[in-house]
Structure 1
């Protein structure tokens, strides 16, 4: 009898303790808290409960089906210690509360020197939020928002706040408010990211000395908005089919001393839009098939446009609000290639046209006075409007290029092949119907 009672006692103790141990083993926060600094935690192919806080330098590695799902009340993952590494995770379900003082995110980083790679983030207000976090590396992150219809109800793909010297590379962002938003963030590098279906693919506010190279913006309301930010380098990026009311490939607003180099602006409502900006250099870009190639407000001074290919736009360039006489359309004797719309001779075969190109137009007044004028820039009535105004009033000079470039043999064909290839890729990725609705057949508005 005593043996039976002893057996029942041991069995009952085991029954009570075992579930507690199993529960602790499944509690991700408890596991993290039990680790030593520098430990490597490998997660299984299953869903773990957030929200978790990482407060020691550790490495967490998941697998193809590892999910960390928040409870919808905060950040799914908060990193509050430096030198943390996260790899191969799916993260979802942060708080979507827009009225909280906290800016919630799938992953919120408060520290320096962390590595985040091969991560998928969905169903979160911001995707990744860097808050006073420096020298982090974020790569191969896929962030999906709720789409354009829900832009106002969500945050940004990357929100970089008072954070410097970070590297963001090979990331994909779709359907968030802004793709990448930099606020008082300096010396960050963004390389080879793909951003689509957002309000602004890139948005800089009070952020200086950043580098943005080899990124692709497609089907955003605005490709990149650079505001109150200086000494940036935007190079080798593609701004393609960024289209909507008052849309643009690139906006420079109160932005100074920036270098815009070797980018492609293709099939945007406005390729480049410049307002209240000073001393920016626009060099070597391909600006093609936009409704307006360059819209330049006279509040902007000392821009330099040189060695750009500006061709097959409905309006190549327009100056609005004044003369804009301090802006230059050539540098060191090299102007721009204006394509077949401005035939030129080059008798001495030095690559420079023998005569300046001056473009006059009355459309600036229409664009300045009527916000809806952009809707009619593809209309056949546009040419009639120009001819009528040329008779009754003097057209205004939009630009004067003293040293226009003669096209290098075959260069325009190479550009055409390249942009057609990019457009074909868009059709495959985004759907033929979207492009046809926006531009009509053969890429033309109907």
Structure 2
């Protein structure tokens, strides 16, 4: 009890000793750099509205760094703007513009170096090389920021939110556009990406590399080069996301390459060139997803194993499933296919004959893309009808033995 009392007194003392230092044209400290020199651990450095050109702002003390009326921190196209070198910092309420661009250094609007428990919230970043960068940090939170870039080439653009070697990060409610990748994870584990909007980014809305035990949920990925790429990762949960209008010759809603033990549930894929492209994927459970009005709903390569696809809806897609091999080691069951023409004599809402989602014409197009010019012609319809009666080219065991007569949900 005595020690608890002393701890409470210490907390009250530390809280009382913390102070707020104001920076602005009418303040004692006219520049942000001057404020950073006098601020102490636990203090708040509050910056008045204005336009500040102060090169690189290095934060080396545990402070709350806050803007009042969104003061502008201008990197003049030369500098990294805010660099955080200590744990426990909060950065909020700034408009951060015009960072430098470098092919050697990942110059950023805000960069966190080897620090934990940093919170970056309610900032606006425009025309930065990298937007917000976490380098070797844990338990950091990036929430409710808006990041916009305008570069036209990938070489001149970094990622909006870039996380390298992190643990237990939270990326929540951000809006990212115009960057190379909207959000990038490399060697990041136990982290959450929630309710973000990644729109009009050059390469991917979200990109995973060598990252395990992460979850992304309730995000929107629209009109990117591709929506999401998950590569060389394990145990990724993909829940309730929207993948919309990711169009292009090599564009996907999701690219899954060399991943294992993932869960994909409750996602919506609408108007993508390919909703999902899977290569080297193992033990992926896919359920309650909706594929609507895509070019290809699912391209699953022969290198995929133990993928379970159940209770999904396939509606209005040009091709439902494509593959490049005849040996299929995956399970399709209880999905709704709008192209299913079977019957249900016992009225149990399950089709009495299997459905083969791979059409002959889709396999021809897979090998000879120019054949697409014959789409919706009489000859392609005849080929597909014949293949359904006497299967010869399509994979015999790629079929849904119990297709649903009505939508799964």
Query: Would you say same fold, with TM above 0.5?
Result: yes
Contact 1:82–1:113 at 8 Å: present in 2 too?
A: yes
Give the deviation of 1:310 after TM superposition. 1.0
Alignment partner, residue 199 of structure 2: 196
The structure with the largest helix share of the pair is 1
Cα distance in 2, alignment partners of residues 83 and 277 from structure 1: 39
Give the deviation of 1:364 after TM superposition. 4.6
Cα distance in 2, alignment partners of residues 350 and 356 from structure 1: 15
Cα distance in 2, alignment partners of residues 67 and 303 from structure 1: 50
The residue correspondences of 1:289-438 to structure 2 (distance < 5 A) are: 289-320=293-324, 322-330=325-333, 335-339=334-338, 341-370=339-368, 376=372, 379-381=375-377, 384-385=379-380, 387=382, 394-397=392-395, 399-408=398-407
Structure 2 vs 1, CA of residues 360 and 316 (structure 1 numbering), >3 Å: closer, same or farther?
closer
Q: Structure 2 unaligned runs (5+)?
A: 1-24
Contact 1:361–1:397 at 8 Å: present in 2 too?
A: no
Structure 2 vs 1, CA of residues 72 and 311 (structure 1 numbering), >3 Å: closer, same or farther?
same
Contact 2:363–2:394 at 8 Å: present in 1 too?
A: no
Q: Which runs of 4+ in 1 moved over 6 A?
A: 21-24, 389-393
Query: Higher mean Cα deviation, 64-73 or 283-292?
Result: 64-73
Contact 1:362–1:390 at 8 Å: present in 2 too?
A: no
Give the deviation of 1:222 after TM superposition. 0.5
Aligned pair 1:252/2:256, yes or no?
A: yes
The residue correspondences of 1:9-24 to structure 2 (distance < 5 A) are: none
The equivalent position to 2:84 in structure 1, one of 79, 86, 100, is: 79
The structure with the largest strand share of the pair is 2
Cα distance in 2, alignment partners of residues 315 and 396 from structure 1: 13
Aligned pair 1:134/2:138, yes or no?
A: yes
Cα distance in 2, alignment partners of residues 402 and 380 from structure 1: 27
Give the deviation of 1:172 after TM superposition. 0.1
In the TM superposition, what whole-angstrom CA distance separates every residue of 1:148-175 from its partner, at most 9, and x where no partner exists?
A: x333310001111001111010000001
Cα distance in 2, alignment partners of residues 359 and 117 from structure 1: 46
Cα distance in 2, alignment partners of residues 204 and 406 from structure 1: 37
Aligned pair 1:60/2:59, yes or no?
A: no
Give the deviation of 1:73 after TM superposition. 3.0
Bigger radius of gyration: 1
Aligned pair 1:277/2:287, yes or no?
A: no
Contact 1:138–1:167 at 8 Å: present in 2 too?
A: yes
**TM-score, scaled to structure 2:** 0.87
Cα distance in 2, alignment partners of residues 386 and 360 from structure 1: 13
Contact 1:179–1:200 at 8 Å: present in 2 too?
A: yes
What SS does the aligned partner of 2:33 have? helix
Aligned residues: 378
Root-mean-square deviation (CA, aligned residues, Å) is: 2.4
Contact 1:211–1:234 at 8 Å: present in 2 too?
A: yes
Contact 2:322–2:363 at 8 Å: present in 1 too?
A: no
Cα distance in 1, alignment partners of residues 369 and 42 from structure 2: 58
Cα distance in 2, alignment partners of residues 226 and 44 from structure 1: 42
Contact 1:195–1:217 at 8 Å: present in 2 too?
A: yes
In the TM superposition, what whole-angstrom CA distance separates every residue of 1:193-226 from its partner, at most 9, and x where no partner exists?
A: 0001111101100001111000001111100011
Cα distance in 2, alignment partners of residues 131 and 75 from structure 1: 14
Alignment partner, residue 155 of structure 2: 152
Structure 2 vs 1, CA of residues 97 and 407 (structure 1 numbering), >3 Å: closer, same or farther?
same
Aligned pair 1:115/2:119, yes or no?
A: yes
Cα distance in 2, alignment partners of residues 287 and 197 from structure 1: 21
What SS does the aligned partner of 1:387 have? helix
Give the deviation of 1:372 after TM superposition. 6.1
In the TM superposition, what whole-angstrom CA distance separates every residue of 1:364-399 from its partner, at most 9, and x where no partner exists?
A: 5434434666xx479434x63463587799331373
**TM-score, scaled to structure 1:** 0.80
Give the deviation of 1:107 after TM superposition. 0.4
Give the deviation of 1:300 after TM superposition. 1.1
Alignment partner, residue 426 of structure 1: none
Cα distance in 2, alignment partners of residues 222 and 137 from structure 1: 25
